[in-house]
Amino acid sequence: MMGRGGGGGGGRGRIQQAKPTGERGRLIRRTAGLFRPYRGGLVVLIALLTLSTTMDLVGVRLLGAMVDRMDPGTGSRAGLDGLIAVYLAIVLGSALLGVAETWVNQRIGQGLMHQLRADLHAHLQRLSVRFYTSTRTGEILSRIATDVNAVQQAITGTFTDFLSNALTLSIAFALMCTLDWRLAIATVIVLPLWVYPTLRVGERMRQLMREWHEESGHLSAHLEETLSVSGSMLVKTFGRQEHEAARFATSNDALRDLSVQRQMTGRWFNMGTTLFGAVLPGLIYWFGGRAVLGGELSIGTVVAFSMLAQRVFGPFAAIARINTTLLSSLALFERLFEYLDAPVEVEERPNARRLDHARGALAFEGVRFSYTNRGVPALDGVSFSVPAGRMVALVGPSGAGKTTVTYLMQRYYDPQEGTVRLDGIDLRDLTLASISGAIGTVMQDTHLFHTSLADNIRYGRLDATDAEVRAAADAAGLGALVERLPDGLQTTVGERGYRLSGGEKQRVAIARAVLNDPPVLILDEATSSLDSRLEREIREATAVLARGRTTIVIAHRLSTVVAADEILVFDHGRIVERGRHADLLALSGLYASLYREQFAEDGGLPASALDGALDDDDAGDANEDGTVALAESRR
């Protein structure tokens, strides 16, 4: 339960985040900054590309020289043999350098992606619960997997192609100038005409790329929600197969249309580039042929010049296309930077203290907290203290703020006003590891991983031995289950533990807490979804776990908290009553009203019989089914 104001976002459930930058130049500079740790590798890569490109173009020049050596009057076989030997050596050397280029390129690209994934995952782990209640899981997975992989392709392929083509264009133009500077100038003078349309096409591609990946994220989120075990069961339960198929079709159609637009964007521009590239050799041979006939150039020079011109225009056309791809790839970095820029609401202070041996005393001092800036406060001026080793129950209507109290205890959020203390220390002054080590939780909705039962229990303490895991399972009442399972503790429990019953999953949560052995234990609606027999069994297991610990109990079934050391009654984010069970009944306030309603609904004593206050002994007698076992086991 989220508490007051703690619901998820509307619409498609996406968290609204500010764009990391509104200026393309700043985005490019930030993206380029990711390569800073790989400066040395980039220098090596550029050197290899320069050397291999130079060798490749020198080989082209040699082919022109070989054409001139074919003249029966001036050429010779020995000259041709020497040129072919040099040419073959250059080709082989260029090929070997290409292998080295690929290795260096992959080291840079994969290293950058490795670090980007690690940074993204680490940052997501630091974000507060608010981020996850506002963002669908499928969209998060889409950015980490789909977007990062697409960025990887852009870096390891497109970026290197851009460098290679830029070097080829520069070196080829230089060699063309050595052959005939007039032809060189005439050839490249038209190239700047391609710059502006290239930028326009690239910007449009960037926009379409972002829209495509956003839609892909929506589709992934939809699939994650409807094709999980719980999602598929919900769809079948209400017969919503056609409805979900229609939702899928809408997103699928949008992806198809965006993909077509991406492919067609700039096709006229690309067609013009291709046509000019095809016409260029003819123009060179026409102009060069006239020069040969006039005795100004040799045939070999014209042939070499034509091949070099192709090496100029081909890379330029490729750069034009690559530039649009690089610009569109900025949309991917933009999406990743959105998550990397998401604010960390709960930050560990640089000088945070480590609390190794917590006693378990808790205190709220004037705490005010709201899930939204303009929302109704979930907690409004809440103050109370829990001495170490005592049990306090939090009761009240749904949305009164009970679970919000436990969220602040575990520092899922920080209060806007007031202080939460553990052993007299502000939680904001403690390390997050100290807090998680001192406070354990058994919640109503127990999350299990798709792995073995032993691994799920060991999540409470990762260095626990097999014997300790087995002991924790026995302490939580899982012994009979372990004996029935085909592989015992090594049996895979299925996604979210669907191979286990509700009571069995609760016992796994208790076993985790047993391993963690925290001085503070939170029981948040731990038995509300179970039948009476299972509720009694789970309560008996938690009674053993709670012995000697500070225990915070949240329960709608008030019969489970009658023997608490203190009961705090919440309503609209405030504590409206506090005291022992009998004292609160004597007040005839909200607690007494809730207790009468539940006792009457459960078929217990008539509501009229509860008009007088019960003393502690009466409370114990009225709950012979073991509802006071939790408190009694701790005394």
- The string of pLDDT tens digits covering residues 611-634 is 433 333 333 333 434 333 444 444
Q: Are 442 and 524 in contact (CB under 8 A)?
A: yes
- Write down the pLDDT at residue 579: 93
Do 284 and 248 sit in the same domain of this protein? yes
Alpha-carbon distance values, 365 to 122, 386, 422, 455 (Å): 32, 12, 12, 39
* pLDDT, tens digit (0-9, with 9 covering 90-100), for 479-506: 888 888 888 888 888 776 677 877 788 8
Q: Are 518 and 549 in contact (CB under 8 A)?
A: yes
Torsion of CA 497, 498, 503, 506, to 10 degrees: 20
The residue ranking higher by pLDDT, 626 or 276, is 276
Do 103 and 200 sit in the same domain of this protein? yes
Q: Is the pLDDT of residue 384 over 90?
A: yes
Do 549 and 611 sit in the same domain of this protein? yes
- Rounded CA-CA distance 540/544 in Å is 7
Do 110 and 74 sit in the same domain of this protein? yes
Q: Which residues pair with 239 in a beta bridge?
A: none
- Write down the pLDDT at residue 378: 92
Q: How many distinct structural domains can be found in the chain?
A: 2
Question: For residue 635, what pLDDT band results from cuts at 50, 70 and 90?
Answer: very low
Do 485 and 576 sit in the same domain of this protein? yes
Q: Which residues pair with 574 in a beta bridge?
A: 571
Residue-averaged pLDDT of the chain? 76
List the domain range (segments joined by +) for residue 397: 362-633
* pLDDT, tens digit (0-9, with 9 covering 90-100), for 563-598: 789 999 999 999 999 999 999 999 989 999 888 887
The CATH number of whichever domain residue 143 belongs to comes to: 1.20.1560.10
Q: Is the pLDDT of residue 434 over 80?
A: yes
Using only C-alpha atoms, the chain has a radius of gyration, in whole angstroms, of: 36
Lowest mean pLDDT among 52-56, 198-202, 511-515: 198-202
Question: For residue 441, what pLDDT band results from cuts at 50, 70 and 90?
Answer: confident
Residue 279 neighbours by CB under 8 Å, 6+ apart? none
Question: For residue 287, what pLDDT band results from cuts at 50, 70 and 90?
Answer: confident
Residue 351 inside a domain? The answer is: no
Residue 124 neighbours by CB under 8 Å, 6+ apart? 131, 140, 144, 339
Do 303 and 403 sit in the same domain of this protein? no
The CATH number of whichever domain residue 479 belongs to comes to: 3.40.50.300
Q: Is the pLDDT of residue 2 over 50?
A: no
